Structure 1
């Protein structure tokens, strides 16, 4: 039986409720000095604010080595009543020191599988997806290595693979590597940040493969995406791909949290969803926030 692997255990996809399909409760990278998400109290407040807007699930895409704080996630989920899904995987190499990457050479897939099946570190919290990342219009050696490891871990567990597309680019190269070369079923691949490169042809080609398309990051003020995203979603819906779409917030900086004066997780439901409904209707928005993630993150675990 398929289930979504949350930090409190496996649950049927239908129990997720309204889902923020890509966000971060904890995240720390040398690329964002001074903006680390490390405060558990702020994470709790952010989840509570999301819950007040009708939110039911947050999928945290924070991968290995970037401050996931997996041991803190179960209590936050219980206290706020919001399901939380954790991730394994690796981000771009610029987020890590070379010693960390060297220690994973030849064993990344094994680490991913262990975190999906046994737990992250000593926390006992099992990851529910694998997060990897591409580069700007290209896949470098690091991306190819981590995606190959992710594909191996997928074949061992069934876990979905979520992909950070740098500025929304490289979608077709990712699909060629994961699905064409590594044999990952397209419906187990989630492409993130497509709103950052509003190319309708690439969007439709990607959706046509059967993968999931995530439109996320409305908090990013340096990407003119909020006003373009409804048109991109409408184009895909009119082409028959409304059942392949996901929405997320991708809050990666402390200043972007609603409890610190930014839009944060509640903004997805407070402003983005109503704006999108004007373009595609309330019913499609409901399905994108509930039915689609229930299928995208549910796995026949093995």
Structure 2
């Protein structure tokens, strides 16, 4: 589809997710995913970028039906999260040629589902990059250069952004505008934000505050600082629903929060036109890829 087809886009969220680090909070209920999408659509949403990577219960086979029935476009991901999310035997099995796995899921499909991934998701660590992160990012860079797909990076508590850019862009040759740095709302370091934006990366501010993160009241100032410095075109907004309890259908903020509360609040602080750009024009550029065909981007 054409990039503009994303419309109002939740640039980072999860319909399905499973991890041993979140026992009992799995996102594995297709009916709940459908209800969440319906609520997001009612709130004005048109597309969701699902950052769930390989081996974490992506629900790829369910995505086409959910997209058709909800009217919400869904972009799936390949990639690999931090090592703690996987059994050692899974990581060992992938170690021979991880980049080939990513390329196959981008170019051919995820397993036998027929669903092609539309972005690559990897992860850094807390204020640094361990051996696993460097290995997965090297594979992601190879896959990005082969396909054009964007790389989304989980920053642990919002930290390590500049280390990520040094590796992906400085050492591995990925263009900065192919990198989306996630969770920057969790570390409201305005100097780091500006440095990353000056480098050319996209900055994702994704999800309502949690008790151990920087609170929402600091976000308008961070976004205003970037916009005032000329980097409004680098900003993305998302929801990052990672547990069953956080879904709106279970009483949490869920996907609709981005548009029901977050958008309105930021609009009051920054102006509705600017926030609309964060939700539409910016993700259309950030996730667009040539895929060997003119003017195309990824869908589920």
Is the pair's TM-score, using the shorter chain for normalization, greater than 0.5? Answer: yes
Deviations 1:133-183 (A, max 9, x none): 000000000000000000000011011000000000000000000000000
1:191 aligns with 2:166: no
Q: How does 1:262-273 map to 2 (within 5 A)?
A: 262-273=252-263
**1:207 and 1:82 mapped to 2: Cα distance?**
29
Partner of 1:44: 34
**1:98 and 1:219 mapped to 2: Cα distance?**
32
Partner of 2:100: 110
Q: 1:163 to 1:127 in 2, by over 3 A?
A: same
1:66 aligns with 2:56: yes
**1:221 and 1:77 mapped to 2: Cα distance?**
33
Three-state SS of the structure 2 residue aligned to 1:37 is: coil
Unmatched runs of 5 consecutive residues or more in structure 2: 293-300
Deviations 1:22-58 (A, max 9, x none): 0000000000000000000000000000000000000
**1:260 and 1:86 mapped to 2: Cα distance?**
24
Q: How many residue pairs were aligned?
A: 292
Q: How does 1:5-24 map to 2 (within 5 A)?
A: 11-24=1-14
Q: How does 1:202-221 map to 2 (within 5 A)?
A: 202-218=192-208, 220-221=210-211
| CA apart distance, 1:226 | 1.1
Deviations 1:81-129 (A, max 9, x none): 0000000000000000100000011211000000001000110100000
**1:151 and 1:55 mapped to 2: Cα distance?**
30
Unmatched runs of 5 consecutive residues or more in structure 1: 1-10
**1:106 and 1:148 mapped to 2: Cα distance?**
13
**1:117 and 1:225 mapped to 2: Cα distance?**
39
1:144 aligns with 2:148: no
Three-state SS of the structure 1 residue aligned to 2:207 is: coil
Three-state SS of the structure 2 residue aligned to 1:63 is: coil
| CA apart distance, 1:219 | 5.6
Q: How does 1:82-161 map to 2 (within 5 A)?
A: 82-161=72-151
Deviations 1:201-234 (A, max 9, x none): 0000000001100000116344233111111101
Q: Is the 8 A contact 1:254 1:260 kept in 2?
A: yes
Three-state SS of the structure 1 residue aligned to 2:216 is: coil
| CA apart distance, 1:277 | 1.1
Q: Is the 8 A contact 1:219 1:264 kept in 2?
A: no
1:278 aligns with 2:282: no
Q: CA RMSD in A?
A: 0.8
**1:32 and 1:160 mapped to 2: Cα distance?**
27
Partner of 1:228: 218
With structure 2 as the length reference, what TM-score do the two structures score? 0.96
Q: Is the 8 A contact 1:36 1:254 kept in 2?
A: yes
| CA apart distance, 1:236 | 0.4
Q: Is the 8 A contact 1:219 1:250 kept in 2?
A: no
Q: Is the 8 A contact 2:187 2:214 kept in 1?
A: no
**1:219 and 1:99 mapped to 2: Cα distance?**
34
Partner of 1:7: none
| CA apart distance, 1:278 | 1.7
Q: Is the 8 A contact 1:219 1:256 kept in 2?
A: no
